[in-house]
Structure 1
């Protein structure tokens, strides 16, 4: 809406509301801070025009009505769509019917011109017209009848009552006169007044509910923001835990690989026979899986303090029996002598050997051997990657007891074939090697005979 009509009792605060609007508009134009809520919005008006107060003058032969009309005439000629117009007691000072008609006409003219208009009045016709006209809105100032004091609250959408009879009764007018005034006013007017009072009461209840809802909404927004912060922190901590777990797993895998390499080296140095090598091959696979997946402490593991030097023990993860060499270290690990050499493992992975195992002494348990393919395909691999894969493959083939394997490297430029040949020539596990027969790939593959020592 562009036109706001404020109604209510005398001393109810209508003029105060009018002056407050004008003052805030001028403060805004001067660049001053406004005493208003942070979400308030005030347009930048190019002009502010006001007709407030009584400008009657005997010297100038001006009555109250004349002074108001003269000021309104000047406002009508100067106001634009970017102006603010403030009119106090519109239509007052003359016959109520004619004053109301003139007030309605002035408001219609200003509505067409487009300025923002705030007007006060006591005239019912003006209230009714504002309620029925698009672009216009009623408002009322709230008033305490008990103390006859304004509450300085403005209620939009509800026309106000003048409370003339109630104020007169409280200010000492004889009750008989007030009663007679009610009779003269008539039942229809009284009914309309009661309806306005009921509407105003409902409006106050709705306003209180709105304020409560806004408070709850603000509280809900604050709670949502707080939980969003907590959720973000939890996600950050979870990501940190995942990174830490991944790092620990990678470290465990690296440690398992180092242990596997040491065990393989001990096997070679000990000149283990084929059966011992086959038995240990699965142990290496179990060791690699343990490094990748992590080993949970066995519920059957004895307390660390129960492991004593010289005690016969069983290592399920290694599928080996051995003897404890020394007490448990400060880091929770223990040194154990296995058939292929000394290893250090967590005490939780060491179990006391049963009676049959103790009588058998320190010996390796020979599990089934996982099969190793008799051919390694290196097609498409880079030289460094191919050499690494080939060396690992030769170790696996040796441990599995494979007598003869084939490495497919392709023909191409011959660079990969020459690199593989150099590796095989210096490898201690290779008995001899040669290019494959034409039926097995010719110069695109190399046949390798694994040493059987």
Structure 2
């Protein structure tokens, strides 16, 4: 890239602004040396890292960057065997700490910043180096006693000897004879030795050595002979301390030397990341963005602002330009001081910044082609005195540009054709622009020459652009409008500055009607453009409001989607938990029911056995017979002996158990079936207990007994139901009533014709108490409510209720949905519907039970 053009476009001051946002001199140096990238790949890598840094800053992730010095020379000195002083070692420790913290910061954010986090590979931890320097050096750079055992011992001896020396000196000062000779009763130091200020006239009488004297000669500083051994010992210890401190620093420098290569790399990588975040901070500071850059030829800048004007606090009018598709050459015209040069420099500066990987102060939809060369010939002189030397200077620079400009080049020429005859200047300008256009360069020029405006308006690949001028205020607006030529407005400005009207009118006459007509046409175009701009501004405001409303709606939609997903996840988790609990509950209930049913059978058989034993005792011993024990008194052995349910019951339980793991969704059905079996067994047991009570008070049978046989159908007067005779023993018969085998007296039986019907036991209501046909589930969780509902349905079925009213309330509807799902698969339910208004509406579900 041409350094002369970069200097003209003032890249260095902009880099200075970015460098001011760094934390260390090495990062500042990296920023100040930024130049346009050599390849598109290199540029995209730079942009990607700055983009990641900008994202992290937008998310509030501030990097742990501190003001690090460039310690590479010190690290390399240690690598060559040099001994570093404590301050340099502490600075290197800060490098190690920064490497550790910044590396961890980047690794933790690798999903959002993969390119930056990849640099963490070169930011290793230096735990031993950190700990050794911290152990040996204090924050202010003193070598600590803990640095070595020898240093600790030497300093302990120094303190002891120094204390003894001070005591001896103070004792000497208290001597009356000595006090007469001293200038002042104090102990001070001269040349590293402890001395006493003695009057010069007494130096021959004072027992000591002269070490120094005052400037006036009135005082001599003498070391007493009595403390000379201690003083010499102290100096020896201090020398030993210095040697030991040097050994400690040599050891620490050796630690640095061992880590020389990774420490240097860490310095450089930390500085690179520092420089990258400085560029991201600059983007936030100027409200900038990272433009898209591609191999194509389109240069589109939207609301571009010059960064140096922003730095001065000047509210520059944004410039928008789109070239490279319909046209590649733009001719900018307009009045003097109207902003043409500023527009030219703005385009050039943002192009240089973009090619260097820097964010640009423009809208995010800006884009540029990858430019291998940016050429600029911009003169800052705006005076009316033009000379051949100025023309020659411009032409010399243009001659340097022409052979090098082509595809991938941006050429910026200020005041093309100026400094010479307008006709010749215009002709030369047209020739130059034709050459650049044919070479494929993107070209932007400023001029006052009308012939260039006319040529641009008639030639393919060319386009005019105007820098606007406010005729009312006689001042430029600095707004650039592409598609129309600008006017110099010389006569208008002259009139506004006070040129007499006759002179202005004469000038217009000289220009001719054709020129005046063109000026009128341009005025009309300007008025129309102003009107269109106002309409565009209103449309932009409307569009912005619509966009804001759209974003609000999208955010609300996203919130609803997130809330829906959260609820779905919660519902799925809750359903999974309910299913898991249902499985556990069904399996547990089945196990419990098997045990309970087995226990009931044992108690039944035991009761029958006890009853038979009691009847036998009655026959044999009469009133001396012992009555049967209660169920609770049965021994474990007796209960174990009676553990087997009959084949029909066992098959039903086995079927329920086998179905449970294969069809977890039928857990409620299994639960209900198991409940029915258990309650039936409980009812049979109650009936059996009633029979046993009757047996206890039953007198010894007498009179004729009916004749019955195995398999015959009989009717039990006591229980009011039919059964089948299984066995006949004396005046007793074993009869199966429903699922219960009972030993009944023949007197209680009435023979019937035909086979047994297997009637069911009629359960006394007193065994269950009153059963409600209504269940209130309000205030319960879904799991609690379904458990209570299952029990209520079981009770209603046993009492032959036709329907059950389930009160679940209205609320959120979650409980109602759970109840509905439960009833849909319940084996006892024939149908269910929401209640009528008088029944409670949709806060109640009416359940119709199967008959």
TM-score (norm 1): 0.55
C-alpha contact (below 8 Å) 2:373/2:410 kept by paired residues: yes
C-alpha contact (below 8 Å) 2:330/2:465 kept by paired residues: yes
Give structure 1 stretches of 5+ with no counterpart.
Answer: 56-60, 281-309, 318-328, 351-368, 371-398, 401-453
What are the equivalent positions in structure 2 for 1:360-439 lying under 5 Å apart?
none
Query: How far apart in 2 are the matches of 1:339 and 1:115?
Result: 93
Corresponding position of 2:414: 88
Give structure 2 stretches of 5+ with no counterpart.
Answer: 1-326, 382-386, 583-664, 685-736, 740-756, 808-827, 830-849
TM-fit CA distance, 1:13 = 0.4
After superposition, the C-alpha distances for 1:168-212 in whole angstroms (9 at most, x for unaligned) are: 111111122122223333343333223323333444434535643
Report whether the alignment pairs 1:18 with 2:344.
yes
Match of 1:232 among 542, 546, 561: 561
What are the equivalent positions in structure 2 for 1:146-165 lying under 5 Å apart?
146-165=472-491
Query: How far apart in 1 are the matches of 2:361 and 2:456?
Result: 29
Report whether the alignment pairs 1:124 with 2:475.
no
Corresponding position of 2:587: none
C-alpha contact (below 8 Å) 2:373/2:409 kept by paired residues: yes
Corresponding position of 1:189: 515
After superposition, the C-alpha distances for 1:240-284 in whole angstroms (9 at most, x for unaligned) are: 47537856986596345313321134336635496976999xxxx
Corresponding position of 2:467: 141
C-alpha contact (below 8 Å) 1:54/1:64 kept by paired residues: no
Corresponding position of 1:176: 502
Q: What's the secondary structure of 1:2's corresponding residue?
A: strand
Corresponding position of 2:165: none
Query: How far apart in 2 are the matches of 1:217 and 1:133?
Result: 40
Structure 1 residues 68 and 214, CA gap change in structure 2 (3 angstroms):
farther
Larger RCO: Structure 1 or Structure 2 (Cα < 8 Å, ≥ 6 residues apart)?
1
C-alpha contact (below 8 Å) 1:3/1:118 kept by paired residues: yes
Query: How far apart in 2 are the matches of 1:272 and 1:176?
Result: 133
C-alpha contact (below 8 Å) 1:28/1:44 kept by paired residues: no
Report whether the alignment pairs 1:69 with 2:395.
yes
Q: What's the secondary structure of 1:118's corresponding residue?
A: strand
Structure 1 residues 342 and 187, CA gap change in structure 2 (3 angstroms):
same
Aligned length: 307
Query: How far apart in 1 are the matches of 2:397 and 2:334?
Result: 23
Corresponding position of 1:315: 773
Corresponding position of 1:287: none
Structure 1 residues 157 and 226, CA gap change in structure 2 (3 angstroms):
same
Report whether the alignment pairs 1:103 with 2:432.
no
TM-fit CA distance, 1:167 = 0.8
TM-fit CA distance, 1:51 = 2.5
TM-fit CA distance, 1:108 = 0.8
Query: How far apart in 1 are the matches of 2:458 and 2:759?
Result: 105
C-alpha contact (below 8 Å) 1:266/1:340 kept by paired residues: no
TM-fit CA distance, 1:90 = 1.6
Query: How far apart in 2 are the matches of 1:137 and 1:188?
Result: 22
Corresponding position of 1:219: 548
C-alpha contact (below 8 Å) 2:470/2:476 kept by paired residues: yes
TM-fit CA distance, 1:48 = 2.7
Q: What's the secondary structure of 2:476's corresponding residue?
A: strand
TM-fit CA distance, 1:54 = 7.7
Query: How far apart in 1 are the matches of 2:558 and 2:363?
Result: 27
Structure 1 residues 253 and 142, CA gap change in structure 2 (3 angstroms):
farther
Report whether the alignment pairs 1:258 with 2:675.
no
Structure 1 residues 241 and 272, CA gap change in structure 2 (3 angstroms):
farther
Q: What's the secondary structure of 1:143's corresponding residue?
A: strand
Q: What's the secondary structure of 1:226's corresponding residue?
A: helix
After superposition, the C-alpha distances for 1:389-443 in whole angstroms (9 at most, x for unaligned) are: xxxxxxxxxx99xxxxxxxxxxxxxxxxxxxxxxxxxxxxxxxxxxxxxxxxxxx
TM-fit CA distance, 1:83 = 2.1
Query: How far apart in 2 are the matches of 1:347 and 1:222?
Result: 51
Q: What's the secondary structure of 1:151's corresponding residue?
A: strand
Query: How far apart in 1 are the matches of 2:550 and 2:761?
Result: 68
Structure 1 residues 209 and 129, CA gap change in structure 2 (3 angstroms):
farther
Structure 1 residues 190 and 247, CA gap change in structure 2 (3 angstroms):
same
Structure 1 residues 64 and 189, CA gap change in structure 2 (3 angstroms):
same
TM-score (norm 2): 0.31
After superposition, the C-alpha distances for 1:111-155 in whole angstroms (9 at most, x for unaligned) are: 011122110112222112212222222111123334443333222
Corresponding position of 1:445: none
Alpha-carbon RMSD across the aligned residues, in angstroms, is 4.4
TM-fit CA distance, 1:5 = 0.9
C-alpha contact (below 8 Å) 1:49/1:86 kept by paired residues: yes
Query: How far apart in 2 are the matches of 1:241 and 1:33?
Result: 44
Query: How far apart in 2 are the matches of 1:210 and 1:278?
Result: 88
- Structure with greater helix share of residues: 2
Query: How far apart in 2 are the matches of 1:126 and 1:37?
Result: 31
C-alpha contact (below 8 Å) 2:772/2:796 kept by paired residues: no
Query: How far apart in 1 are the matches of 2:559 and 2:462?
Result: 48
Whose radius of gyration is greater, 1 or 2?
A: 2
After superposition, the C-alpha distances for 1:35-60 in whole angstroms (9 at most, x for unaligned) are: 333333344433332222289xxxxx
Query: How far apart in 2 are the matches of 1:154 and 1:53?
Result: 20
C-alpha contact (below 8 Å) 1:25/1:44 kept by paired residues: no
